[in-house]
Amino acid sequence: MKAGPRLTVGKSARAAGRHVSKEGYALKSVRVWFSKTGPARYISHLDLTRCMGRALKLSRLPVWYTEGFNPHIYMTFAMPLSLGVSGLRECMDIRLTEDTDLAQAAQILDAQLPEDISVLEIFEPELGFDAVAYAEYEISLDSEEPEALADILEELMAQDTVIVMKHGKKGDKEFDIKPHFTLLDKQAGHGLLKIKLRASCSQAGSVNPSLLLEALKSYKNLEPYAEITRSRLLTKDFFDMK
């Protein structure tokens, strides 16, 4: 647990950006931006939710609880990360019942989280989660010949279709990743090929960047060790999610 400041909370609440519960509380939606790196990338989304809930309780921030027989802290996440993928700028929405200094709240919440999960900032959202259309990823591939691997990757993505087997609840099916991936940059050297990739990522459906590794395996039987990091969430116009 990290050390942090105490919270100063005001008594009044602004009407803008608020909802009203049955009890008459004025609720203000805020967006928590955080990173999830290092060993924390192996924490499942369910465990991340539990971790955030515990941290919010310990923080004593004036968060809103759902109603009913099993009240719990209201939290909703934009696009859950796949297990093993780091996130540099992830977000979740919560609701506050009192006016709160959001910069101070970010420090307080961060102090209750493990070292590899860090709160970056908290502010009022400008867009709903349905505005997310893409994500940018940074992929680092180990290779004794990174320049050759870069050429193979370029050949692969130059094909008309790039078919992989996608595993789903209803079984395996062929899937063309070509329309869903855009290679933005690649750098080879020092035993690594570093790729910047934009991929489809929305509530309608997301494409896991690990499918690119599946394609490399099918294309040239290559299975390099990979570290995948999601760096940004983007709108359909490629602007940062806010």
Q: Each residue of 39-64: pLDDT tens digit?
A: 999 999 999 999 999 999 999 999 99
What are the Cα distances from residue 118, in Å, to 15, 60, 67, 102, 174? 29, 17, 29, 15, 38
d(CA 99, CA 115): 28
Tell me the mean pLDDT in the region 28-33: 98
User: Mean per-residue pLDDT for 187-211?
Assistant: 95
Please state, in angstroms and rounded to a whole number, the distance separating the CA atoms of residues 40 and 48: 9
Alpha-carbon distance of 135 to 79, in angstroms, equals 9
Architecture of domain 130-234: 2-Layer Sandwich (3.30)
Beta-carbon contacts of residue 47 (< 8 Å; ≥ 6 apart): none
Q: Is the separation of the CB atoms in 199 and 178 below 8 Å?
A: no
CA 144 remoteness from chain centre: 31
Report the percent of the chain where pLDDT is more than 90. Answer: 83
Cα separation, 24 vs 212, in Å, equals 50
Q: How far apart are CA 79 and CA 130, in angstroms?
A: 10
- Output the pLDDT for position 205: 87
Enter the DSSP assignment of 241.
P
Q: Which amino acid is at 30?
A: V
CA atoms within 13 A on the CB side of 5: 10
Q: What is the pLDDT of residue 27?
A: 87
Q: Could you tell me which residue, 29 or 26, shows the higher pLDDT?
A: 29
When pLDDT is cut at 50, 70 and 90, the band that residue 170 belongs to is confident
Sign of CA dihedral 212, 82, 103, 67: positive
Report helix, strand or coil for 8: coil
Q: For residues 115 and 35, is the Cβ–Cβ distance under 8 A?
A: no
pLDDT value for 53 = 98
Q: Do domains 18-125 and 130-234 have the same CATH topology?
A: yes
Give me the architecture of the 18-125 domain, per CATH.
2-Layer Sandwich (3.30)
Q: How far is CA 104 from the centre of its chain?
A: 23
Q: How far apart are CA 75 and CA 144, in angstroms?
A: 44
pLDDT tens digits, 138-160: 999 999 999 999 999 999 999 99
Taking a C-beta distance cutoff of 8 angstroms, is the pair 216, 156 a contact?
yes
Distance separating alpha carbons of residues 212 and 66, to the nearest angstrom: 40
C-beta separation of 115 from 36 below 8 A: no
Task: Provide the residue type at 110 as one letter.
Answer: D
| Sequence spans of domains, the chain | 18-125, 130-234
pLDDT reported for residue 23: 55
Average pLDDT value for the chain:
91
- Of 18 and 178, the structure prediction assigns the larger pLDDT to 178
Joined tokens for residue 81: 């990360």
